[in-house]
Amino acid sequence: MGLKVKEFRAFFGLLWFGLLIFQPVAGLRPLRESARSWGDEWLVGRKDENEVGPFTAWNITGTYRGAWRFMQSSNTSSRFPDFKKSSGNSVLELMTRPTKINGVHYVQGVMIFHDVFDNEPEVGRVQIRVEGVYIWPFRQLRMVANSGRDGEFGQEEDYILSNPYHLLGVFSSQVFQESPRDKIWKSKQSPITDMDKHCNIEISAQISRVSSTQSDGEHDRYYLQGLMESPSADDDGDCFSPMIMNATSVNIEVYYNKAVNYTLMVTFISFLQVLLLIRQMEHSNTQSGAAKVSILMIGQQAIMDAYLCLLHLTAGILVESLFNAFATAAFFKFVVFSIFEMRYLLAIWKAGRSTNNGEGWEAMRRELSVLYSRFYGILLGGILIMYEFHRYLRPILLLLHSFWIPQIITNVLSDSRKPLHPHYIIGMSLTRLAIPLYVFGCPHNFMRIEPDKNWCIFLGALVGFQAAILILQHYLGSRCFIPRQILPEKYCYFRKVDQDSNHATDCVICMTAIDLTQHSNDCMVTPCDHFFHSGCLQRWMDIKMECPTCRRSLPPA
C-alpha cells in the first residue's frame, strides 16, 4: 500500500512538473525577459536532478562556433537597413548553473555575430549578452538579451573572459585584426546600441549531442539549433527578420593541441634557422666574405624575430594555461635574434669598418653602442608605427618580408661574388613563410583568423621572386639581369699583357712560376700590374680584397 502511494505521488509530481514547463516549450517561442533574474525566481526546494525522468543532465557550458542566416532570403525589416547580410558566422559563450527547480539550469553568456553589416566591413561584428534557462529534460534552451549594466555578470563573466578560446581570440583580434582604438570607434559606430534600446531579442534553441570522434576523446560535444527573433519594444513590428542559428561546441582540448602544435612548429623553425645561420656564418667567415653581406638584410630579419619573440611571450602571459608552450617558442626566437643574428650583425659591421679595428677598445665600444642603439631604436619605432597604422598590418608584413631586397641591391652595386650560401637563401625563405601562411592561410588555425588566399599567394610569390633573383646572382653573376649598356665599366683581370712584359714571374701566393707567354685564363693581372694564378687570386679575394704584393685595394672580379 505504501509503495502504491509513493508511486501515485511520484506520478502527480511529474505531471505537475510537466504542466509547469511544457507549455512554454511546446510553442517553441522564446521566453520574455522578466524584471528579476531568472535564477532567483525558482522557489521550489531543489532535489536531486537525476530523479527527473530517465535523462541525465548535460553540461552545456563552453564555447560554440556556428553560423546564422535569415529564414527569408534577406532582412525584410526597415528598422535597421544596414542589416543587409543574409548569413554569417557566430560564436557563442555559455555558462550554466543549476537552479532551485529540478531540470532547469540558469544560463548566461555572450553571442558574437560576424559579417553582419554589409556597408561597413569595419563594423561588421555584433556582440550581445544573453541570459535564460536551459530545460535539460527536454533539451530546450531559452534566452533573451541581457540589458543589465556592465559588471552584473559576476563569476560567469569571469569564466567567459578567462576561457583560453576567448583569450586567444582576443589576442589575435588585437594583434592581427583591430587595435583598442579601432575597437572603441567601432563600438560607437555599431547599430547594436540602438538594438539594445529598441529590440527584445529572444532565442529558442534545441540541444543535441554530437557523436564524438577519435580526436575528441571522452569530451562530449553538443549541437545547438534554434531561432532568434527581435520583436520591437514598442510593438511596431520586428527589428529584423527571424534568424536561424546553429553552432557546435568547441573541444577545448583539441584547441589546446592546436596551439601547442603551433608552438612546436615555431620551435622547430627556430632551430632550423639557427642551423642555417651557422652555415651562412661559416660561408662568410672571412672579413671579405662578411663585407659582402648586407647589414640591412640581417638587421631586418633580426627585427622580425624580435617581434615574433614579443608576440609569443605576450600570448603566453595572456593565456596562463599555455604559458609554457608559448614561452618556449618565444625563448627560441630570442636565441635566434639576440645571439646568432646580433653576432652576425656585429661581424658584418666590423668587416665594413676594417680601418677602425686598430683604434683600441674605446673605438670598438663606440661602434657597439651605435650598432645596438640603432637596432633597438628601429625596433621600438617599428612597434609604434605598427600600432599607429594597425589597419595596414598586412601591407606592413609584406614590407617586412622584402628582406632579400637589400642584399640584391648590395650585390648589384658592389658586384659581389656569392655572398650568401644557396642553402641559406632557400631555407630562410621557406622558414620565414611558415608562420604568416599558417596565421592567414590555414582554415583551422587556433587564432580564428579568416584565411586570405590571395594575400598568401602574393606573399609566397614575393619571397620566392626575391630568392630566385639571389640564386641567379649566385650562379650567373650579381649583374646578370642588368643590360650591359647601362652597366659601369668593369676592370678585367684577364687583360692583355704588354709585349715588354713577356717574361717568367712568380706568383707570390703559391710561390710557383707563371708563364706569361701563354696568355691564357690561368693568369690574372691586378690594376697595380702584379701577376697571379687565377685560382690563387680568386681564393685570396674571398679573404681580402687587397693586392697580396702591395696591399692596394682591388676591384671586384
pLDDT in tens, 326-365: 999 999 999 999 999 999 998 898 887 755 445 567 777 7
Instruction: Render 58-93 in DSSP notation, one character per residue.
Output: ----EEEEEEEEESSSS---SS-TT---SEEEEEEE
What per-residue confidence (pLDDT) applies to 408? 94
Decide which of 463 and 292 is more confident: 463
CA–CA dist 176, 141 (Å, integer): 34
Contact 433, 404 (CB under 8 A): no
Residues 6+ apart with CB under 8 A from 117: 82, 83, 84, 85, 123, 124, 190, 191
Contact at 8 Å (CB) between 297 and 231? Answer: no
Count of CB atoms within 10 A of residue 382's CB?
Answer: 16
What value, to the nearest 5°, has the Cα angle with vertex 18 and ends 15 and 23? 135
Question: What is the residue-averaged pLDDT of the chain?
Answer: 76
pLDDT (average), residues 21-42: 38
Q: Which range among 79-83, 203-207, 208-212 shows the weakest confidence by mean pLDDT?
A: 79-83
Q: Tell me which long-range contacts 223-226 makes (C-beta under 8 A, separation of at least 24).
A: 223/247, 223/248, 223/249, 224/60, 224/64, 224/66, 224/92, 224/141, 224/248, 224/249, 226/141
Mean pLDDT of 299-304: 94
Percent of the chain with pLDDT over 90: 24
What is the predicted pLDDT for the residue at 78? 62
Q: What is the pLDDT of residues 130-184, one digit of tens each?
A: 888 998 888 889 888 765 444 444 444 454 445 555 555 555 555 555 444 454 4
**Mean per-residue pLDDT for 432-438?**
95
Give the pLDDT of residue 72: 76
Report how far residue 165's alpha carbon sits from residue 526's, in angstroms, rounded to the nearest whole number: 67
- pLDDT top residue among 20 and 376: 376
The arithmetic mean of pLDDT across residues 363-370, rounded, is: 78
For residues 455-462, average pLDDT? 96
Is pLDDT at 15 greater than 50 in this prediction?
A: no
Least confident of 296-310, 351-365, 376-390: 351-365
Whether residue 470 is predicted with pLDDT greater than 90 in this model: the reply is yes
255 falls in which pLDDT band (50, 70, 90)?
A: confident
Angle at 80 between CA 76 and CA 82, to 5 degrees: 95
Q: Is the pLDDT of residue 76 over 90?
A: no
Between CA 275 and CA 277 the distance in angstroms is 5
Average pLDDT (63-91) is 75
pLDDT at 490: 74
pLDDT band at 210 (very low <50, low <70, confident <90, very high): confident
What's the confidence (pLDDT) of residue 435?
Answer: 94
pLDDT band at 549 (very low <50, low <70, confident <90, very high): confident
Going by the DSSP 8-state scheme, the letter that residue 346 receives in this structure is H
Q: Quick check: 85 pLDDT over 70? A: yes
Burial degree of 451 (CB within 10 A; 0-12, 13-18, 19+): middle
Query: Can you give the pLDDT at residue 459?
Result: 96
- pLDDT value for 261: 93
User: Are residues 300 and 357 in contact, defined by beta-carbon separation less than 8 angstroms?
Assistant: no
Q: What is the pLDDT of residue 372?
A: 83
Res 403 pLDDT > 90: yes
pLDDT value of residue 469: 95
Q: β-strands 126-135, 104-113: how paired? A: antiparallel
CA 532, 537, 540, 541 torsion-angle sign: positive
How confident is the model at residue 373, as a pLDDT? Answer: 87
- Of 25-34, 84-93, 128-137, 545-554, least confident by mean pLDDT is 25-34
Q: How many CB atoms lie within 10 A of CB 297?
A: 22
pLDDT of residue 274: 96
CB atoms under 10 Å from CB of 274, counted, come to 16
Q: What is the reported pLDDT for 170? A: 53
Distance of alpha carbon 448 from the chain centroid: 10
Strands 87-98 and 140-145: unpaired
Asked if residues 341 and 291 have their Cβ atoms less than 8 Å apart, the reply is no
The Cα–Cα gap between 245 and 88 comes to 10
Q: Is the pLDDT of residue 444 over 90?
A: no
pLDDT tops 70 at residue 23: no
Cell of 436: 604568416
Poorest-confidence range of 118-122, 301-305, 403-407? 118-122
- Reported as type and span, the H/E element at residue 525 is strand 523-525
Whether 376 has a pLDDT exceeding 80, the answer reads yes
Instruction: Tell me what pLDDT residue 346 has.
Output: 87
DSSP 338: I
- pLDDT given at position 38: 38
Residue 49 has pLDDT above 50, yes or no: no
What's the whole-number mean pLDDT along residues 430-435? 96
How long a stretch of residues is the chain? 557
What are residue 89's DSSP bridge partners? 67
Q: What angle do CA 217, 219, 222 make, to 5 degrees?
A: 130
Q: Quick one: DSSP state of residue 486?
A: G
What distance in Å separates the CA atoms of residue 392 and residue 251, rounded to the nearest whole number?
33
Q: Is the pTM of this model over 0.75?
A: no
